Amino acid sequence: MKSLWRFLPVGVFVLLAVFLYLGLGRDAEHIDSPLLEKPLPVFALPDLSDPDRLRTQEDFKGAATLLNVWATWCISCRVEHPFLVRIAREQGVRIVGLNYKDDGTAATTWLQERGDPYAFTIVDADGRLGLDLGVYGAPETYLLDAHGVIRYKHVGVIDERVWVDILQPQWKRWQSPGGQP
């Protein structure tokens, strides 16, 4: 028993080393969203192409959807946009845009010039829905299942690697109306 005590410092060292090692691999930028597994917040906001039409959380029911938060002032969104256009066209992914704290005219021009991957675009001019969603920097993308429940959140640009490795498997998983296949 007495000799076991001698190994205490080694034990402490190993424990510390394990924690530090895990800390190294962690992405400090990644914050788990408290909204995961919760339904989309209640909202009623105008549609970009038809401001008289109000979009609500009900518009997300029926199919798995990516809710992509973007703005024309967001530089990374420029990088991401062509890829969104591609997966919407080639793979039929349903993407809804959330135009976050942006200028409506600039947003419309952007979609005309670069192509429109969105089933529809919600105008969140004062960032209220963004706040309720816990958005802290565009681009951000939420994956919603067919019941409008938030299943995954990705912060940052979606590119080929992110799509194939992370989002596509999740999207396939939540696509069937029953939830998990």
Partner 1 sequence: MMRSLLLCLVLLAMPSWAVVETRRFSSDLERQRFESLAAELRCPKCQNQNLLDSDAPIARDLRDVLHEQLQDGRTDGEIMQFMTDRYGEFVRYRPDWHGPALLIWVLPALLLLLAVWVAWRQIRRASASSEEDAA
Which of 148, 149, 128, 116 minimizes the C-alpha distance to 49? 116
132 interacts with partner 1 by CB under 8 A: yes
Strands 54-56 and 44-46, by their bridges, are antiparallel
CA R_g for the chain: 21
Least Cβ distance, residue 31 to partner 1 (angstroms): 5
27 alpha-carbon distance from chain centroid:
16
From candidates 14, 31, 54, 106, binder to partner 1 by CB under 8 A? 31
Of 121, 103, 127, the C-alpha closest to 55 is: 121
Distance of CA 146 to the CA centre of its chain: 16
Distance from C-alpha of 155 to C-alpha of 79, rounded to nearest angstrom: 14
How many CB atoms sit inside 10 A of residue 130's CB?
18
Which of 3, 21, 24, 34 is in the footprint of partner 1 by CB under 8 A?
A: 34
Is residue 98 within the footprint of partner 1 (CB under 8 A)?
no
Q: Are 18 and 10 in contact (CB under 8 A)?
A: no
For partner 1, give the closer residue by CB, 13 or 136.
136
Site stretch for partner 1 (CB under 8 A), options 60-68, 81-89, 130-138, 164-172: 130-138
CB of 131 to partner 1, least distance (A): 6
Name which position in 133, 143, 144, 150 contacts partner 1 (CB under 8 A): 133
Count of C-beta atoms within a 10 Å radius of residue 118: 23
Q: Can you tell me which of 29, 52, 90, 113 binds partner 1, judged by CB under 8 A?
A: 29
CB closer to partner 1, 59 vs 132: 132
Helix (H) or strand (E) holding 95: strand 95-100
> CB under 8 A: which stretch of 31-39, 83-91, 108-116, 172-180 binds partner 1?
31-39
Cβ-based nearer residue to partner 1, 42 or 131: 131
Q: Determine the interface stretch with partner 1 among 114-122, 131-139, 156-164, 172-180 (rule: CB under 8 A).
A: 131-139
Residues that bind partner 1 (CB under 8 A): 28-29, 31-35, 127, 131-137
